[in-house]
Chains A and B, each alone.
Chain A
Amino acid sequence: MSNRGKEILIWAILVIGLGAIVFGIYGAVAQPGEMNGDVSNLIAPITADDRTKGSEAAKAVFVEYSDFECPACGYFYGMIKKLEEEKGDAVRIAYRHFPLAQHRYARVTAQASEAAGAQGKFWEMHDILFEKQEEWSKSTSIQQNLLGYAMEIGLDVDQFLVDVQASDIDEKIDRNVAMGTAQKITGTPSFFLNGKLIQFRSYEELKQLVEVELSK
């Protein structure tokens, strides 16, 4: 082959190679939800172990894997809250813990929510943690923040301090994480609506998904 021919061949290989890298990676990242067909079905249905809110007769049942320190979970919290207000009894939600390793306070806040749950105030703690996420996630004294929230929602603070460190709460969080891992969820929040993994970017999209379920 002539030198010119060789040069052209090398450039062609280079262009095709770089292009193949781009397309290969694009295929892998573009649609994460739809790629894993079998894991898009919820494998662990709601049990008495789950923290749930809403009517058992609800036609739209959500299961959420979430992390209190995850900014995206904080963002979607507002949408779910609005949906609950708008749809009332038609919506039921179960919250499962999936604290991520990169969030330093994800575990302790999950423990705090369960400790509040031991006094029947899981959802109150859940709400305040998401609403004040910006405040405590940057805090250097998380214990103080959590104590403050415990008082704010009217918990027995001494009992709360004992429960936060209770091993059964820790084990429950581990059970939730194990379920999420078995489900192969790729991040938080992961929402399942009536057993199907869903993705939405706005409140309108969420509402549409719910209305389809309600009309069934």
Chain B
Amino acid sequence: MKKNLTIWVMLALSITGFVDSVYLALKTLFGSPITCSAFSGGCDIVAQSKYSDFLGVPISMLGVLFYAAIIIVITYYLQRRTIKSLEWIVYGLLFGGLFSLYLLALQAFVIEAWCLYCIVADAIGIANALLAIRLLRMK
């Protein structure tokens, strides 16, 4: 995969991740009062667990900020093509991939419940990190 295409795929994945995280965050903040949703899979269990916060901020909110930041930096890179912005993308996505692995491990081994929307966001995080590793090798 060429470098340019890799970046565009990263952008598309990040937009998907953004949509997914926005849904989760808004659901957490404004959704109906505590219910077990018929459509969310295990999202209630995951979202109501004590691991759904990181230093007081809902994880889904961190996802929104993370994907928004990545989208902004990628857009900047596509215009200016600076090495610095490319580095920000690569290291940002590597960090995001590691954090996604941590969240998947939490669901698998600690909470013992899966939330589809979280899995989508985490899978995108990992896919983006793999693409970032690919970019690093191309340099």
Write the residues of chain A forming the contact surface with B, with a CB cutoff of 8 angstroms. 7, 10-11, 14, 18, 21-22, 25-26, 29-33, 67, 70-73, 75, 98, 100-103, 185-190, 199-201
Contact = CB atoms under 8 A, between A and B. Distances in A.
A29 B113 contact: no
Given A21-B19, A71-B48, A102-B42, A29 B37 contact: no
A102 B113 contact: yes
A21 B26 CA distance: 11
B32 A10 contact: no
Which of B32, B37, B45 has the largest number of chain A CB atoms within 10 A?
A: B32
Given A18-B18, A21-B18, A33 B32 contact: yes
B26 A187 contact: no
B44 A10 contact: no
Contacts of B27: 29
Contacts of B36: 67, 70-73, 100, 102-103, 187-188
Contacts, number: 83
B77 interface: no
A29 B31 contact: yes
A186 B22 contact: no
B70 to A, nearest CB: 12
A62 B19 CA distance: 37
Given A186-B39, A188-B38, A201 B33 contact: yes
Contacts of B35: 70, 72, 186-190
Contacts of B31: 29-30, 32
B71 to A, nearest CB: 7
22 contacts: A7-B79, A10-B75, A14-B72, A18-B68, A21-B18, A22-B22, A25-B19, A25-B26, A30-B26, A67-B36, A70-B35, A72-B35, A73-B36, A98-B38, A100-B36, A101-B41, A102-B41, A102-B113, A185-B38, A186-B37, A186-B39, A187-B37
A189 B130 CA distance: 42
Given A11-B75, A14-B75, A72-B44, A199 B32 contact: yes
Given A102-B42, A188-B38, A29 B72 contact: no
A102 B72 contact: no
Given A11-B75, A25-B23, A102-B113, A30 B30 contact: yes
Contact of A29 (B30, B38, B41, B48): B30
A27 B50 CA distance: 27
Given A32-B31, A102-B45, A199-B33, A18 B38 contact: no
A199 B68 CA distance: 33
A73 B31 CA distance: 16
B39 to A, nearest CB: 7
A101 B23 CA distance: 21
A7 B37 CA distance: 43
Which of B26, B30, B31, B35 has the largest number of chain A CB atoms within 10 A?
A: B35
Which of B31, B34, B79 has the largest number of chain A CB atoms within 10 A?
A: B34
Contacts of A25: 19, 22-23, 26
